[in-house]
Structure formats: C-alpha cells, structure tokens
Amino acid sequence: MKKLLLITCLMASLNVFAINSDLVKYLPLGTHQVDLYQAVAGTSETNKVLQKLQVVFQSKWGQKWVQENMEAGKPLPYHKNFGITEAEYNEFLRQAKEGQAMTIKNTGIKGKFKIIKTNKSSYTIVIEVNGQSRAMHLNNNQIRFIGFSVPGTMTSFNTNKSAVGKGEVKGFTFKSEEATDKRVSLAKMIIGQITNEKQCFANFTFKKLMVPNKLIQNEDFIIKYPCKF
C-alpha cells in the first residue's frame, strides 16, 4: 500500500513537471522566417464605428467614463456620446463576439520566430522584428516574460470564431499583468493552430499604461508559421 501511494505521488509530480503535450505541437524547434500580421476592422462600416469609438475612448471624458463603467467580463454599456446609434453599437458588439469585427492583414514586414529547447520541459521563445527582439521563457507550462516579475497564467481555448483564421482555432493563452500606483503593464502570448490552414500562429501583445491611462507602449502583432499536428 505504501509503495502504491509512493508511485501515485511520483506520477503526480511527473505530471506537474511535464509540459503540455498539445502545447509542444505548437513549438517546432528552430528559426522560422515569418510575416507579420495586424488586426484590422473586418468591414468599412465596422472601421468607421471603431474609429469613432477610439476617438471617444481617448478623450478625457471617455477615459473617465470607461473607468467608471468598466466591469470584468462585460462589454461597456452604450452612451449617446459615442457618436453612433445604439443599434450600430450593438451590431459592433455582436460582430466582436462572433469574431467578425476584426480580421488580419499582412503588414509586409518580415520577422524571425525562434524556438529553442533548453531542457526536457523548458523552451526559450524569441520574436525578432525590425532589429528588436522579445524573449520569453516557457517552463513546465508556465511562461515568464522578460522584464516581468509575475509569470504568465495559462488558459486553453477552442473556438470557431477568430480573426486569425477560418474554421477551428485552438491553443493556449499566457497572460501576465503588473500594476503599481504609476504604471500598468501587460504581456500576453496566444499560441495555437488554425486547423483549416494547417498552420500555427502566435499573437504577441505588450502594453504599458501610465496612470491615469496614458498609453506609452503598444505592441500587438500576429505571426503564422508551419507546424505539425
């Protein structure tokens, strides 16, 4: 009985320290030459709505209103100051929920995506764009973004509604946030596969906001690369 208990504990500990097997599929080793994509509005009508909302949310009134009305997991309620009708706003929210509000376009910019295996359960992931690089260390299903003291939490997703590709899109999201009295920083990596396209993709987001809500850094780009699954 003691031996069985010991073996059970050992197996449990091995599972804790083993990297997710599905995640490994999205990490083909080597250096990959990639195109950079950016999210854009799906239609001209959506783009007009998005532009109006951006102007509002960047105004002093908009920033204050967002702070007062933001609720986690819920869209912002409609306000007449948005400069659009409530019907237009609701249609925009519907498209966003169903992955229709945004699509991606090739920016024409080339980059490098490096995946280096450092040991059995650890990887170093590097994205290089325009002579600048971002590095992340993935160890036992936990990612650590360079420059962030808080490791990224991992969640899985599976959806048929995504701007990055048509059909089934699934993978993992790593997100790390740090906040002080003067600054809020966000780092996020979404990595997964686009089944219909037989490709993998990664979406990187790095943002820094000075309190109150002054954006001082905003990096958000998507890459696609070959992988086996």
Question: Left, alpha or beta for 140 (phi > 0: left; psi -120 to 50: alpha)?
Answer: left
Question: What's the total number of domains in the chain?
Answer: 2
Confidence of residue 49 (pLDDT cuts 50, 70, 90): confident
Position 124 confidence tier, pLDDT thresholds 50, 70, 90: very high
Domain boundary among 57, 81, 97: 97
Q: How confident is the model at residue 12 (pLDDT cuts 50, 70, 90)?
A: very low
Question: 26 and 71: one domain?
Answer: no
Residue 219 burial by Cβ neighbours in a 10 Å radius (0-12, 13-18, 19+): middle
Task: State whether 37 and 50 are in the same domain.
Answer: no
Together in a domain, 172 and 82: no
Instruction: Examine the domain organization and report whether 159 and 221 are in the same domain.
Output: yes
Residue 115 shares a structural domain with residue 167: yes
Mean pLDDT of 109-122: 92
Range of the domain at 58: 44-97
Task: Return the top range by mean pLDDT from 6-10, 112-116, 118-122, 217-221.
Answer: 112-116
pLDDT on residue 112: 94
Bigger pLDDT: 218 vs 213: 218
Q: How far is it, in rounded angstroms, from Cα 34 to Cα 32?
A: 6
